Amino acid sequence: MTGDKICSTVLKEIVPGEGEKKALLEFAEHIISRIDEAAKELGVDAHGLLVGSVAKGTWISGDLDLDIFIMLPETISEEEMESLGLQIAKRVATKYEERYAEHPYLKAFFGGYAVDLVPCFSVSNPASIKSAVDRTPFHNEYIKARINGLENEVRLLKQFMKGIGVYGAELRTMGFSGYLCELLVLKYGSFLNVLQSAKGWRRGVIIGIEDHKGHEHDAPLVVIDPVDPSRNVAAAVSLDKFCMFIDVSRTFLKTPDISFFFPPEVKPMTDDELVDELKQRGMDVFAIVFKAPDVVDDVLYPQLYKALKSIEELLHRNDFRVFHGDVWSNSNSVILLEMEIARLPPIKMHMGPPVESVTHAEKFKAKHANCHPYIRSGRYAVEIPRKYADVNALLKSELQTCSLGKHVSEAIENGYRVLKNAQIIKIDDEEFRVFLRKYFRKR
Amino acid sequence: MTGDKICSTVLKEIVPGEGEKKALLEFAEHIISRIDEAAKELGVDAHGLLVGSVAKGTWISGDLDLDIFIMLPETISEEEMESLGLQIAKRVATKYEERYAEHPYLKAFFGGYAVDLVPCFSVSNPASIKSAVDRTPFHNEYIKARINGLENEVRLLKQFMKGIGVYGAELRTMGFSGYLCELLVLKYGSFLNVLQSAKGWRRGVIIGIEDHKGHEHDAPLVVIDPVDPSRNVAAAVSLDKFCMFIDVSRTFLKTPDISFFFPPEVKPMTDDELVDELKQRGMDVFAIVFKAPDVVDDVLYPQLYKALKSIEELLHRNDFRVFHGDVWSNSNSVILLEMEIARLPPIKMHMGPPVESVTHAEKFKAKHANCHPYIRSGRYAVEIPRKYADVNALLKSELQTCSLGKHVSEAIENGYRVLKNAQIIKIDDEEFRVFLRKYFRKR
């Protein structure tokens, strides 16, 4: 099948039908009118505004998540904006969870719909925004004014990115946002043209949508926000997600296949498969397991990655070698460490001062008198017991000295386990087993 | 006991008695007269000359080794000098071994005496020497003219250096020669003064005996040869022997003890001790064992050290870590390798080109298609089988690719064994067991 043929097949799956469209927009209008009413009742000069992919007409069929902003006057204080906005939202929603990004908002549930009700300042232009959410209505306007006719190209790009695992700007994924997909389609005119361009991208590439001059950004991909030229829309894209997109774009253009959009479902690894895999790889694998702290992914994942990095440094400082590490979280959080070297001899060499440094030499010899200091390459040296001869002992003693991030640190203080090799089958969570299969097969 | 008291006690042991002196010198005169006769019989203008520590009066009691040079005219060719010299020597000696340093010479045995009979050119001054041995008679003259009264100080220094293991300029030891000891005593006036000076030596120190300006030397210790100021008498001294001498000088001056001169005999390690030691250290020890090539130590040891270094590099290239290595030789040669890491997982990570290098990327992905290339830090990476997962397998396959030196290489081609851990007890040689105890205890 050619690329074009595949695209039309994919579109059949992902373009919402008229019924879905109508129902979604009617529902959105209904919520907005309830926001407007609630504002009036509370005597607040506020109104609802549909933003996000539904507003822009670029959502993928079946994605029934709505973003509705509660626009409040820019003259009030941040605290007032937050509290009035939440008051209005709570009048509209009956079933909801309070969430927190830069500001608090509600994730509300109405039948099959999930609606993010987000208070923000209604500002006159993007230069006067007070927080990142205030920018969203301007992104919305920008796309709505230009996307006409390209909606399905955006849908293709989003579905492609979902399929290959680079979609989503959250800090768990560090990939491409919906807005970024829309801008790329505007810039290059079609889904396939975006891929053609991506084929030749190099890290540090700067893409301007309008004729704006960009600012300096230290990121693999820079896409200048037409609404705020000082901002890099692709700031969240990690080097590896950037590279994956380039790599898969090349492969797709050469050998297009529908499986890029709809990859086979990844089945959870069974106990037997896991034990087999560990045996074949012959490396000691450690899982540090603790109850996931009750914070959103965008707070949790940076802390988990930070913890992973800090633990890897601890291991290196103690002469162990990490082959690869990763993190995962659901109700439990897991820091996974696959070790090239997880055991060391009980003694190690400890080098002292050069023989010429008389004062240091005397101190060193006195300190290590019972270890028989000798001379090696002009310095004193002793063989001393190694503090930690295996990873388990090191983690048990020193894990909490690592920079783990506030919430992860607290969670670990409340208790953690270190599972080794086959013990990992104790983590009986389907999603973790999916993560493990991806870890071992597709990394 | 004070340093002085210890010195007088030591001297009682090491100063030859009148009887020993008389017998030795009479025997030397007898050999010299036979050399002179043999030269006359052969019609060669040559004569014998006593050199070395007996000539200079600085030998240690019981050391019955004599150095007698056969002085030949400088007008003849090198080949003539060698052949005529050996002819004369063979007329004098009945029981001998032919040896080879820069030139051939005889090690002859007469009753309890061993005599090196060394042909050389009789040159008028040190500037016209044709090979290193020709310089020896001048060293002899220089010391004989000045050492009067300091002979016992030289004996003390030699015995001290023997006791602490830094005496001998051969390439097996890389320590201090007898001539170097004599010069140091001339320079500083006494044994204890040499130690006082050594306390403050730093690597690169330059010691002039006369007012000569020295040349540039890249050595830890430079002692300018008064007979040939371009020459460093201490060129053979390795950094570690230099440092050991400094270190032990300090310790002796602080806490003098007779055991520095006469250390307790090192007993060979027993099988049980060896097995115990290996268990306690918890490191895999490998011994590469082969029949010692039939060459002198000064040829063999540099090759063994070179082989050790080359093998260590091979191990590092393959991700193993050497804790320490050493060499030993008797009838068998042994290269000993104590491993911090001797086993690795069966797979390793192999990094490929960055994603942007399209041509290399395609080649890499094609080559490793069945290993599932993935992206890591902006580069392609694959997990591939490790060629050697343990040291044994690596040594079995690749030892002969190392730079081993001509004779070691030939010896290894004729067969070698790799013994691991307790298998080392198969090396049933008392001297090797002494070496092992020193290796484990006093390194």
**pLDDT range class, residue A442, cuts 50, 70, 90:** low
Supply A288's token pair: 């540090």
Q: Which is the CATH superfamily of the domain at B271-344+388-441?
A: Poly(A) polymerase predicted RNA binding domain (3.30.70.590)
Give the ipTM.
0.89
Mutation choice for A interface testing from B239, B254, B355, B379 by most A CBs within 10 A? B355
What residues are paired with A341 via a beta bridge? A321
Supply B20's token pair: 């020993």
Task: Tell me if B240 and A372 make a contact (CB, 8 A cut-off).
Answer: no
Supply A431's token pair: 């999603």
For residues A241-258, average pLDDT: 97
Tokens 């003849």 map to which residue?
B76
From B375's Cα to the closest Cα of chain A, the distance in A is: 6
pLDDT in tens, A334-367: 999 999 999 999 999 999 999 999 999 999 999 9
Contacts of A247 in chain B (CB under 8 A): 355, 361, 375, 380
pTM over 0.90: no
Task: Tell me if B378 and A250 make a contact (CB, 8 A cut-off).
Answer: no
B389 contact partners, CB below 8 Å, separation of at least 6: A282, B343, B344, B345, B346
The pLDDT, as a whole number, for residue A409 is: 95
Phi, psi of B167 (to 5 degrees): -90, 135
Mutation choice for B interface testing from A243, A249, A349 by most B CBs within 10 A? A243
From A174's Cα to the closest Cα of chain B, the distance in A is: 14
Considering only CA atoms, which of A208, A234, A231 is closest in space to residue A219?
A: A234
Q: How far apart are CA B307 and CA B326, in angstroms?
A: 10
Picking from A101-110, A289-298, B99-108, B206-215, which range would have the lowest pLDDT averaged per residue? B206-215
Report the percent of chain A where pLDDT is more than 90: 89
Mutation choice for B interface testing from A319, A340, A351, A376 by most B CBs within 10 A? A340
From B435's Cα to the closest Cα of chain A, the distance in A is: 16
Q: How far apart are CA A404 and CA B83, in angstroms?
A: 80
Q: Does this chain's domain A271-344+388-441 share its CATH topology with A347-385?
A: yes
Supply B276's token pair: 């115990």
Nearest-CB residue to B243 (from A202, A239, A355): A355
Nearest-CB residue to A239 (from B240, B346, B378): B378
From A307's Cα to the closest Cα of chain B, the distance in A is: 18
The pLDDT, as a whole number, for residue A3 is: 84
For each of chain B's 443 residues, which pLDDT tens digit applies?
788 999 999 999 999 999 999 999 999 999 999 999 999 999 999 999 999 999 999 999 999 889 999 999 999 999 999 999 999 999 999 999 998 878 899 999 998 899 999 999 999 988 889 888 999 999 999 999 999 999 999 999 999 999 999 999 999 999 999 999 999 999 999 999 999 999 999 999 999 988 777 677 889 999 999 999 999 999 999 999 999 999 999 999 999 999 999 999 999 999 999 999 999 999 999 999 999 999 889 899 999 999 999 999 999 999 999 999 999 999 999 999 999 999 999 999 999 999 999 999 999 999 999 888 999 999 999 999 999 999 999 999 999 999 999 999 999 999 999 999 999 999 989 999 999 999 997 65
Task: Tell me if A341 and B346 make a contact (CB, 8 A cut-off).
Answer: no
Q: How far apart are CA A94 and CA A46, in angstroms?
A: 20
Task: Tell me if A356 and B202 make a contact (CB, 8 A cut-off).
Answer: yes
Contacts of A324 in chain B (CB under 8 A): 349
DSSP for A340-370 reads: EE-B--SEEEEEEEETT-HHHHHHHHHHTGG
Task: Tell me if A202 and B250 make a contact (CB, 8 A cut-off).
Answer: no
Q: How many residues does chain B have?
A: 443
pLDDT in tens, A155-203: 999 999 999 999 999 999 999 999 999 999 999 999 999 999 999 999 9
Task: Tell me if A344 and B340 make a contact (CB, 8 A cut-off).
Answer: yes
The pLDDT, as a whole number, for residue A214 is: 66
Phi, psi of A428 (to 5 degrees): -100, 70
Task: Tell me if A324 and B349 make a contact (CB, 8 A cut-off).
Answer: yes
The pLDDT, as a whole number, for residue B76 is: 94
Q: What is the largest CA-CA distance in chain B?
A: 88
Q: What is the CATH number of domain A16-136?
A: 3.30.460.10
From B32's Cα to the closest Cα of chain A, the distance in A is: 45
Give the right CATH number for A347-385 from 3.40.50, 1.10.10, 2.30.280, 3.30.70: 3.30.70
From A385's Cα to the closest Cα of chain B, the distance in A is: 9
Q: How far apart are CA A58 and CA A55, in angstroms?
A: 8
Chain B residues within 8 angstroms (CB to CB) of chain A: 199, 201-203, 220, 239-240, 242-244, 246-247, 250, 280-283, 323-324, 340-341, 344-349, 354-356, 358, 361, 372, 374-378, 380, 389, 441-443
DSSP class of B414: T
Predicted confidence (pLDDT) at residue A236 exceeds the cutoff of 80: yes
Predicted confidence (pLDDT) at residue A443 exceeds the cutoff of 70: no
Q: How far apart are CA B160 and CA B178, in angstroms?
A: 12
From B395's Cα to the closest Cα of chain A, the distance in A is: 21
Chain A residues within 8 angstroms (CB to CB) of chain B: 199, 201-203, 220, 239-240, 242-244, 246-247, 250, 280-283, 323-324, 340-341, 344-349, 354-356, 358, 361, 372, 374-378, 380, 389, 441-443
Q: How far apart are CA A264 and CA A274, in angstroms?
A: 20
Predicted confidence (pLDDT) at residue A57 exceeds the cutoff of 90: yes
Mutation choice for B interface testing from A356, A362, A440 by most B CBs within 10 A? A356
Supply B275's token pair: 């097995």
The pLDDT, as a whole number, for residue A216 is: 79
A254 contact partners, CB below 8 Å, separation of at least 6: none
Task: Tell me if A378 and B202 make a contact (CB, 8 A cut-off).
Answer: no
Domain ranges within chain A, ordered by starting residue: 16-136, 151-260, 271-344+388-441, 347-385
Mutation choice for A interface testing from B239, B283, B375 by most A CBs within 10 A? B375
The pLDDT, as a whole number, for residue A210 is: 82
Task: Tell me if A281 and B347 make a contact (CB, 8 A cut-off).
Answer: yes
Contacts of A203 in chain B (CB under 8 A): 354, 356, 378
3-state DSSP of chain A: CCHHHHHHHHHHHHCCCHHHHHHHHHHHHHHHHHHHHHHHHHCCCCEEEEEHHHHHCCCCCCCCEEEEEEEEECCCCHHHHHHHHHHHHHHHCCEEEEEECCCEEEEEEECCEEEEEEEEEECCCHHHCCCHHHHHHHHHHHHHCCCCCCHHHHHHHHHHHHHHCCECCCCCCCCECHHHHHHHHHHHCCHHHHHHHHCCCCCCEEEECCCCCCCCCCCCEEEEECCEEEEECCCCCCHHHHHHHHHHHHHHHHCCCHHHCCCCCCCCCCHHHHHHHHHHHCCEEEEEEEECCCCCHHHHHHHHHHHHHHHHHHHHHCCCEEEEEEEEECCEEEEEEEEEECECCCEEEEEEEECCCHHHHHHHHHHCHHHCCEEECCEEEEEEECCCCEHHHHHHHHHHHCCCCHHHHHHHHCCCEEEEHHHHHHCCCHHHHHHHHHHHHCC
Considering only CA atoms, which of B383, B381, B409, B378 is closest in space to residue B306?
A: B409
CA-nearest residue of chain A to B441?
A372
From A257's Cα to the closest Cα of chain B, the distance in A is: 18
Top-tier CATH class for A151-260: mainly alpha
Q: How far apart are CA B180 and CA B164, in angstroms?
A: 16
Contacts of B324 in chain A (CB under 8 A): 349
Dihedral, CA atoms, B227, B229, B230, B232, nearest 10 degrees? 80
The pLDDT, as a whole number, for residue B214 is: 66
Nearest-CB residue to A203 (from B199, B356, B358): B356
